[in-house]
């Protein structure tokens, strides 16, 4: 949350160093006072102490080293420092952008930016930044090589916040430099007697000891602050890792849900197609409507529009099929009526013929009527035997019937049609046999 302001304070400190090199001590002190206010605002007591000691050192430097550089030299040095500061800022901006691309898994674009940043910091001779960039580049390239072989051992690249690490490294180096530069106290060398050695140094130099205690307390605060910064970065990295894992988990769950829904939609479409082929338009419509709901849920609007058009076509198919069915029913009714008319006509004709035969039989001699009765009985038995498959007996009976018909004189009764029908029947029976 406070990183931008802390970085701003660090930039103010770096600018103060540039002003010191230009021997512009007043400007350096002014910049450090601004940095001190920012550190004070966020309770960074250790850093405030460091800034105060730096201000005191610059004031002493100002008194002991009056500037002797010419205006031209100052301008040249200032111009060089501005170029360095501009390059440094550009390098850190590129690193921030490269880190964002890495988080988005756009590794190829990120590698290009890391190469640009490395070139800038190599010219500036910033060893820490160069090492960190090279490590990050190697991790990304290694990950991409494993990914191409299909043997990825981890889901994501370990992403470094190089800008934050560089800032922390500068603070660590500053603290280390101050710790390794103890104050030199000039004292007049003189023989020390055993009695003097045994005297309490604390009672002899109370102010010195109090100052040293304060310095030790400040050093402890600075170490604690440095530890807190590192812990904060570790916490941020862990949080970023958890966030990436959560994003991956959510994406996997979303993909799994979509695959399940897509499978359901495909099954419904298959059911609808089968129903459409069998002309079961109601089931086809129901399956398509359920598939549309799933595609809407997935946000696949193109598929939804396509299926809605297909539903309209199904409705047209259904109406056309209904029209054909109604037409077939109408045709069948007409055919049935025509058939019934023919049946009625044939029945009437048969009835008239039978009536004619009966009338003729009434006037026939008893012997002729007896033959016709035998023919009728033989026909009845022949029909039953034909159903049983006894074709030899059936043929014999129809030959008997034919002989009886032929034995009856035509002047008594006309049996020419019966004779023709019997002869035709005999031919059919012989073919079956």
Least confident of 18-22, 144-148, 190-194, 371-375: 190-194
- pLDDT (tens digit, 9 = 90+) per residue, 246-260? 888 888 888 888 888
113 pLDDT band (50/70/90 cuts)?
Answer: very high
Q: Give the pLDDT of residue 171.
A: 66
Residue 210 above 70 pLDDT? Answer: no
DSSP assignment of 324-377: HHHHHHHHHHHHHHHHHHHHHHHHHHHHHHHHHHHHHHHHS-HHHHHHHHHHHH
Element (H, E) at 383: helix 366-387
187 pLDDT band (50/70/90 cuts)?
Answer: very low
Residue 196 above 50 pLDDT? Answer: no
Least confident of 7-11, 69-73, 74-78, 234-238: 69-73
Q: What average pLDDT does the segment 315-339 reach?
A: 88
Q: Give the pLDDT of residue 157.
A: 62
94 pLDDT band (50/70/90 cuts)?
Answer: very high
194 pLDDT band (50/70/90 cuts)?
Answer: very low
Instruction: State how far the Cα of 65 lies from the Cα of 387, in Å rounded to an integer.
Output: 141
- pLDDT (tens digit, 9 = 90+) per residue, 77-86? 555 567 777 8
With 0-12 / 13-18 / 19 or more C-beta atoms within 10 angstroms meaning exposed / middle / buried, residue 334 is exposed
Of the two residues 216 and 415, the one the predictor is more confident about is: 415
223 CB-near residues (< 8 Å, 6+ apart): 46, 175
- pLDDT (tens digit, 9 = 90+) per residue, 34-75? 888 888 887 777 787 788 888 888 888 887 765 444 444 445
Percentage of the chain modeled with pLDDT above 90: 6
Q: Give the pLDDT of residue 179.
A: 58
Residue 9 above 80 pLDDT? Answer: yes
Q: Which residue has 């201000």 as its token pair?
A: 55
Q: Give the pLDDT of residue 290.
A: 92
Residue 185 above 50 pLDDT? Answer: no
Q: Give the pLDDT of residue 399.
A: 92
Q: Give the pLDDT of residue 66.
A: 56
Count other Cβ atoms within 10 Å, centred on residue 327: 10
Mean pLDDT across the chain, nearest whole number? 79
Instruction: State how far the Cα of 100 lies from the Cα of 60, in Å rounded to an integer.
Output: 45
Q: What average pLDDT does the segment 310-327 reach?
A: 89
354 pLDDT band (50/70/90 cuts)?
Answer: low
Residue 212 above 70 pLDDT? Answer: no
pTM (2 d.p.):
0.29
Residue 317 above 70 pLDDT? Answer: yes
Q: Give the pLDDT of residue 281.
A: 87
* Number of alpha helices (DSSP H) and beta strands (DSSP E) in the chain: 15, 0
Residue 296 above 60 pLDDT? Answer: yes
- pLDDT (tens digit, 9 = 90+) per residue, 400-427? 988 988 888 888 888 888 889 989 988 9
């Amino acid at each position: 949350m406070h990183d931008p302001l802390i970085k701003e304070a660090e930039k103010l400190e770096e600018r103060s160093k540039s002003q010191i090199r230009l021997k512009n001590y007043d400007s350096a002190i002014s910049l450090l006072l601004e940095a001190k206010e920012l550190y004070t605002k966020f309770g960074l007591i250790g850093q405030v102490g460091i800034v105060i000691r730096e201000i005191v050192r610059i004031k002493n430097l100002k008194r002991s080293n009056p500037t002797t550089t010419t205006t031209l030299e100052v301008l040249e040095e200032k111009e060089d420092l501005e170029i360095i500061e501009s390059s440094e800022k550009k390098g850190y901006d590129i690193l921030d952008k490269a880190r964002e691309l890495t988080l988005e898994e756009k590794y190829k674009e990120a590698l290009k930016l890391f190469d640009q940043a490395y070139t800038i910091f190599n010219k500036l001779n910033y060893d820490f930044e160069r090492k960190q960039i090279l490590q990050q580049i190697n991790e990304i390239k290694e990950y991409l090589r494993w990914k191409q072989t299909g043997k990825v051992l981890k889901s994501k690249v370990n992403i470094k916040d190089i800008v934050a690490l560089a800032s922390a490294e500068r603070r660590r180096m500053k603290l280390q430099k101050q710790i390794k530069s103890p104050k030199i106290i000039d004292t007049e060398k003189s023989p020390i007697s055993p009695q003097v050695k045994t005297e309490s140094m604390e009672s002899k130099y109370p102010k010195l000891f109090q100052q040293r205690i304060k310095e030790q307390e400040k050093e402890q605060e600075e170490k604690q602050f440095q530890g807190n910064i590192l812990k904060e970065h570790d916490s941020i990295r862990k949080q970023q890792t958890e966030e990436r894992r959560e994003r991956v988990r959510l994406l996997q769950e979303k993909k799994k849900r979509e695959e399940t829904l897509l499978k359901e939609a495909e099954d419904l479409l298959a059911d609808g197609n089968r129903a459409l082929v069998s002309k079961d338009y109601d089931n086809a419509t129901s399956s398509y409507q359920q598939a549309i709901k799933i595609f809407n849920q997935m946000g696949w609007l193109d598929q939804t529009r396509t299926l809605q058009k297909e539903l309209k076509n199904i409705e047209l198919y259904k109406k056309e099929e209904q029209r054909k069915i109604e037409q077939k029913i109408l045709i069948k009714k007409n055919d049935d009526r025509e058939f019934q008319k023919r049946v009625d006509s044939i029945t009437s004709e048969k009835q008239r013929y039978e009536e004619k035969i009966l009338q003729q039989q009434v006037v026939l001699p008893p012997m002729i009527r007896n033959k016709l009765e035998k023919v009728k009985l033989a026909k009845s038995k022949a029909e039953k035997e034909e159903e049983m498959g006894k074709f030899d007996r059936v043929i014999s009976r129809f030959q008997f019937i034919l002989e009886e018909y032929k034995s009856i004189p035509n002047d008594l009764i006309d049996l020419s049609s019966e004779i023709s029908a019997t002869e035709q029947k005999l031919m059919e029976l012989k073919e079956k046999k």
